[in-house]
Chain A
């Protein structure tokens, strides 16, 4: 059930605002159907979450089209006009470069970048926030950006890295396909970080936009001999603290 400022809200109230089958309607439907209580301080907070989730899904498709390559952390590559490559394979925003320009460059010039799936997920979230906040607020909010995995992550996005069981899984969630019996010679296939897109599909960097079964099949191809456990989509998700991000949007500064 959805509650805004303590009052129950039905998804039908948004029928004219969001078209049927849209990400927003899928999210509203799933929240309403769930037995759990989803509370939002204001209607603006709910609408912000719906908008950001839609942008996360859009950014996933955009990054998939960008031509960004896959590389293990030891061999990552980035556009040196905007990013410095860190020793551990992460990308660090260059001094004097606007965060909005640097993030937009990845989507525009994807072929100049190669990285692993976890970094790609962070790029998706930054891309979605750039579209939601707009350049000015985005640049005020993110003065420094480090793209790697969940261990050098901005405090505002810390919850994306904190994967745990949820009452319901929604478009825009960060999910994880675990491959427990992976071949030790292919550690990059130990799992696939993916964005749930809402139409039964997932975006994972390196595997593309796929059904979960296809991602599991791809992971299973990289298991060690005599493996007895299949790859599996974990019953868990990481998702940003939408209310915290909404507060920044609503007051116009970080």
Chain B
């Protein structure tokens, strides 16, 4: 039995003695005890990296059809992503996102493959593609911490992470912002600098000392907590600009204190007639005034909804005057 937390025999050889030793051992094992070798490959505890490096040997020994569904899907997926095609078309192997086995296999690839990131360009590409499908097509939130870990590890090593950042933010999930914000507190300057860039904080954000970093983290979280229900994700990527902004605050939504979906270009959820009437003059004012009103509105609503109801019905000039100067009954 190779299930559970104990390290799979082939994983162990790969990790301790290296890839070539693992391949040699696999060939020896396969010649002597083919059935038990297959069992080791199909073991629930196997890491994807081991299956990945043994691809040529598996195909050479014609073992593909003896593999379990998880492994067959994983190898078919590799074949689909990588330029060199090693498998002839195999029917009955699902590569559709709505298929549970495919979903489970991609999760296995990413979860067990992430610790071996950097094994090869081809291997990293498979990890990126798995993450992209799980995040973008399957809206799989579990993947976000793994993707965040990979992004920052790759940044430290100087390897390629831009596609993964793109997939990560295509989740359009506030949780992704929180995961990046965590790195503002990192003692590694590369982590903090990348977090700063990914969150689109100013270039001169002080991050030198531990206190600086803690302060920036607290400040960002405070901003996020205030605005999380009004954020729309932009889809801007590192391929597009050197200052990608992952999200913007929808000031109209914040002014109305109305939660919005995080996908861009979507309208505010159905507005009542009074809400539409309130919003009409708001749309015509400048951005700076919009921000003043939206911020005030959010805080007043949180503090005293009854007062907010009164304030939001005042003419815009009066709303602005109260927002800028304050008034006792609204404090």
- Kindly state whether residue B253 has any CB partner on chain A within 8 Å: no
Given A184-B137, A187-B167, A190-B166, A153 and B242 contact (CB-CB distance below 8 Å): yes
Please determine whether A75 and B242 come into contact, CB atoms closer than 8 angstroms. Answer: no
Chain B CB within 10 Å, residue with most, of A86, A88, A178, A224: A88
**How many residues of chain A have a CB within 8 Å of chain B?**
30
Among A149, A185, A224, contact of B239 (Cβ-Cβ < 8 Å) = A149
- Residues in B with CB closer than 8 Å to A149 are 162, 238-239
Q: Does B314 contact A (CB under 8 A)?
A: no
Selected contact of B240 from candidates A73, A75, A163, CB within 8 Å: A163
Q: Mark A204-246, 1 if CB is under 8 A from B, else 0.
A: 0000000000000000000010000100001000100000000
Main SS of chain B's interface residues? helix
The distance in angstroms between the C-alpha atoms of A118 and B121, with both chains bound, is 20
Tell me which residues across on chain B come within 8 A of A180, comparing CB atoms.
235
Closest chain B CB from A223 CB (angstroms) = 12
Contact status A87-B159, CB under 8 Å: yes
Closest to B132 in A: A184
Bound-state Cα–Cα, A154 to B81, Å = 34
Across the interface, do A162 and B243 meet the contact criterion of CB distance under 8 Å? yes
Q: Complex formed: what's the CA distance from A184 to B167 in Å?
A: 8
Which residues of A (138-197) have their CB < 8 Å from a CB of B?
149-151, 153, 158, 161-163, 176, 178, 180, 184-185, 187, 190-191, 193
A201 to B162, CA, bound (A): 28
Whose C-beta in chain A lies nearest to the C-beta of B235?
Answer: A180
Instruction: Say if the beta carbon of B227 comes within 8 Å of chain A.
Output: no
Nearest-neighbor residue (CB-CB) of B160 within chain A: A88
Give A114 Cβ to nearest chain B Cβ, in Å: 12
A87 near B160: Cβ-Cβ < 8 Å:
yes
Interface residues of A in 5-64 (CB under 8 A from B): none
Tell me how far the C-beta of B196 lies from the nearest C-beta in chain A, rounded to whole angstroms.
13
A74 at the interface (CB under 8 A from B): yes
Asked whether A86 lies within 8 Å of B158 as measured between CB atoms, the reply is yes
Q: Does A89 contact B (CB under 8 A)?
A: yes
- A191–B160 touching, CB < 8 Å: no
The stretch among B11-19, B57-65, B123-131 that forms the contact with chain A is B123-131
Among B135, B157, B162, B241, the residue within 8 A (CB) of A73 is: B162
Q: Which residues of A are interface residues toward B (Cβ below 8 A)? A: 73-75, 86-89, 116, 118, 149-151, 153, 158, 161-163, 176, 178, 180, 184-185, 187, 190-191, 193, 224, 229, 234, 238
25 of the cross-chain contacts (CB-CB < 8 Å) are A73-B160, A87-B158, A88-B159, A88-B160, A89-B160, A116-B239, A150-B238, A150-B241, A150-B242, A151-B197, A151-B238, A151-B242, A153-B242, A161-B241, A161-B243, A162-B243, A163-B240, A176-B241, A184-B129, A187-B128, A190-B239, A193-B239, A193-B240, A224-B137, A229-B265
